Amino acid sequence: MLLRPDRRDIVIIGHLTGLVLIGTGLVMFIPATLAILWGEHNEAAAFVIAGCLAILPGLLMRLRARSFRPPRWDHGMIVTAVSWLAAPFFAAIPLFLSGHYGSFLDAYFDAMSGFATAGLAVINDLDHLARSVNLWRHITHFMGGQGLILIMLSLFPAHQGAMGMYVGEGREDRILPNVVHTVRFIWQVSLAWLAVGSLALWGALLSAGMPLAEGLFHAISLFMAAFDTGGFAPTSAGIGLYHSPLTEAVITVLMVAGCLAFALHHHLWRGRWMQLWHHTEMRLLVASVAGLFTLMAVGLASSGAYTTVGELLRRGMFHLLSAHTGTGFNSIPGRLFVTQWGTLAPAAIVLAMGFGGMAGSTAGGIKLIRMAVAAKGLRQMLRASVLPRDAVTIESVHQGQRSVLHDPAIRAAYTILLLYLLLYAIGAAAGLFYGYPFTEAMFESTSAAAAVGLSVGITGPTMETGLQIVYILQMWLGRLEFVAVLSLLGFAWSTLRGRT
């Protein structure tokens, strides 16, 4: 019998969601402070308003809820799904008040894109945007890439139900026995990369001729977008602004680092470098990049987009890795994908976007482990069909340690894979409905659902509202990998149809 949730369930969910919003609101005081220092007083006021508004619901819930029972696993899932809708709402307020968005929905789109680390943008006149708001866009990448729940668990660590929320955010790997310790480790790695990556980027930008202070601002912003596989850039020209192969090289390293599972980072952190060789996802990433780059090289060579191997390698590999890692940076104007790249090279990009990075990383997409499990499941089935009936076929994957694949894991991988394919197709169908050619519609839909951010020009301030809403839902579903959203839908259904 379907049971209707009671008031206590609402209190638990409200309370935990409130904590996520408190975390989001507190982070807004960072750009608020910088806005004051940079003389952007209207923006400072906007951040204070948005920060306080985000904090209020959490505080009200804490005042109202005197006590509540320990959260269950499904509560954690629902909190994650709701938080990922609510936090972009408050994050959109300073964006909207910046005066660069035509509607609140536009601002919400960019906030969701920021948190989901997609990097698609509908902002008007980005090149004159206030510095603090520009930084806030990149901070949303950092928050979303690390995980909103992860930030909440960092600020308020002693919460039961943490595992449900953690998994609901698309993370399955518990790197250390305790979730709180895992969260701390993820921060440790990220902050170390922040220091090293920002300095390396700053150096590259200075060597490219960037002024000192401006270079630092760009370096920090680009780091957050690269390591958290986001894709926002400080100016509309993207990475093309810098005309610097060195900057592109540093960004490439950061993008790849961002798409590695934090569990793999943990092994590397401990000096276990051989894990790079044994890790199933790492092997698949290398194979996939090699295969897709071959496809792309053939496409680019036949379209005549680039005439030398060096140019082809620089542009092709950067964009392929940008797509595969789910970052979405581009170093050429997006229009050239349509007018210069032919069909085969963009197809390789679409496949790379669809595959995505490693599970338990900041990357989006189907994820390499699911691709590997699905492929091994298929191989197991084929082997079983040709071998004698009593032969036992075993497939395994290596993620830190070798584990044998069982049917439930294979079924789960296929289910999520199918859901992603369906999500890509729905977005493409929406694009077709609004009159875009199939190739462009498929490219943009995959980019949104896999949280990549490369664009052929469909996404922009003048895009249709209906398509905008479809892409917002795609980013939300794609980032949370369906499970948390399905839990929320189940909760809503039982509220309407369940019995007390």
Partner 1 sequence: MKRGRVLIGALGLLALLGAVVVIGHALRHPDLPTGVSEDQLEGSDPRDETDCPQPLPREGQARDEQSRSATILDVSSNNLYDCPQHYDGERVRYRGEVVGALLHRDTGVWLQLNDDVYAELIGPLPAHRDYRGGNAGVGVLLPTQLAAQIEFIGGPQTRGDVIEVEGTFNRIDPSGEVAVIRADTAELTTNGEPFPDPLLPDRRAAAIVAFLLATGLVAAERVVARRR
CB of 466 to partner 1, least distance (A): 15
CB of 437 to partner 1, least distance (A): 7
CB environment 46-73: b (16+ within 10 A), e (fewer): bbbbbbeebbebbeebeeeeeebeebee
Cβ proximity to partner 1: between 16 and 397 the closer is 16
What gap in Å lies between CA 19 and CA 372, rounded to an integer?
Answer: 36
Of the candidate residues 83, 117, 134, 399, the single one contacting partner 1 (CB under 8 A): 134
CB of 100 to partner 1, least distance (A): 5
Cβ proximity to partner 1: between 47 and 115 the closer is 47
CB of 444 to partner 1, least distance (A): 9
Interaction with partner 1 in 478-497: which residues (CB under 8 A)?
495-496
CB 98, CB 125: distance < 8 Å: no
Q: Does 335 participate in binding partner 1 (rule CB under 8 A)?
A: yes
Q: Does 204 participate in binding partner 1 (rule CB under 8 A)?
A: no
Of the candidate residues 458, 480, 483, 485, the single one contacting partner 1 (CB under 8 A): 458
Q: State whether the Cα torsion 436-438-443-448 is positive or negative.
A: positive
Q: Which stretch binds partner 1 (CB under 8 A): 185-193, 284-292, 306-314, 349-357?
A: 306-314
Q: Which stretch binds partner 1 (CB under 8 A): 41-49, 149-157, 193-201, 259-267?
A: 41-49
Of the candidate residues 30, 194, 298, 336, the single one contacting partner 1 (CB under 8 A): 336
Hey, which residues does 275 pair with through a beta bridge?
none
346-375 footprint of partner 1 as x/- string (CB under 8 A): ------------------------------
Residue 486 to residues 41, 171, 416, 497, Cα–Cα distance (Å)? 42, 16, 12, 16
Q: Does 41 participate in binding partner 1 (rule CB under 8 A)?
A: yes
CB 483, CB 168: distance < 8 Å: yes
End-to-end, the C-alpha distance of the chain in Å comes to 10
Q: Does 141 participate in binding partner 1 (rule CB under 8 A)?
A: no
Of the candidate residues 177, 304, 388, 408, the single one contacting partner 1 (CB under 8 A): 304
Q: State whether the Cα torsion 43-49-53-54 is positive or negative.
A: positive
Q: Does 315 participate in binding partner 1 (rule CB under 8 A)?
A: yes
What gap in Å lies between CA 257 and CA 316, rounded to an integer?
Answer: 19
Q: Does 10 participate in binding partner 1 (rule CB under 8 A)?
A: yes
Closest listed residue to residue 330, CA positions, set 437, 455, 436, 460: 455
Q: Does 403 participate in binding partner 1 (rule CB under 8 A)?
A: no
Q: Does 40 participate in binding partner 1 (rule CB under 8 A)?
A: yes
Q: Does 55 participate in binding partner 1 (rule CB under 8 A)?
A: yes
Q: Which stretch binds partner 1 (CB under 8 A): 94-102, 352-360, 414-422, 473-481?
A: 94-102
Q: Does 242 participate in binding partner 1 (rule CB under 8 A)?
A: yes
Q: Does 298 participate in binding partner 1 (rule CB under 8 A)?
A: no
Q: Does 52 participate in binding partner 1 (rule CB under 8 A)?
A: yes
Q: What is the DSSP string of 45-71?
A: HHHHHHHHHHHHHHHHHHHH-S--PPP
Of the candidate residues 36, 53, 176, 194, the single one contacting partner 1 (CB under 8 A): 53
Of the candidate residues 13, 78, 93, 477, the single one contacting partner 1 (CB under 8 A): 93
Q: Does 159 participate in binding partner 1 (rule CB under 8 A)?
A: no
For residue 97 the two structure tokens come to 């008040």
Residue keyed to tokens 């019995």:
499
For residue 410 the two structure tokens come to 């294979």
CB of 83 to partner 1, least distance (A): 14
Alpha-carbon torsion angle 37, 38, 41, 43, nearest 10: -110
Q: Does 158 participate in binding partner 1 (rule CB under 8 A)?
A: no
Of the candidate residues 310, 375, 403, 415, the single one contacting partner 1 (CB under 8 A): 310
Residue keyed to tokens 């696993």:
73
What gap in Å lies between CA 27 and CA 25, rounded to an integer?
Answer: 5
Number of residues interacting with partner 1: please give it, by CB under 8 A: 91
Closest listed residue to residue 11, CA positions, set 22, 19, 1, 3: 19
424-453 footprint of partner 1 as x/- string (CB under 8 A): -----------xxx--x-------------
Q: Does 212 participate in binding partner 1 (rule CB under 8 A)?
A: no
Cβ proximity to partner 1: between 286 and 309 the closer is 309
Exposed/middle/buried for residue 339 (C-beta within 10 Å: 0-12, 13-18, 19+): exposed
CB 332, CB 457: distance < 8 Å: no
What gap in Å lies between CA 87 and CA 20, rounded to an integer?
Answer: 8
For residue 384 the two structure tokens come to 């079983």
Cβ proximity to partner 1: between 6 and 411 the closer is 6
Of the candidate residues 30, 176, 194, 208, the single one contacting partner 1 (CB under 8 A): 208
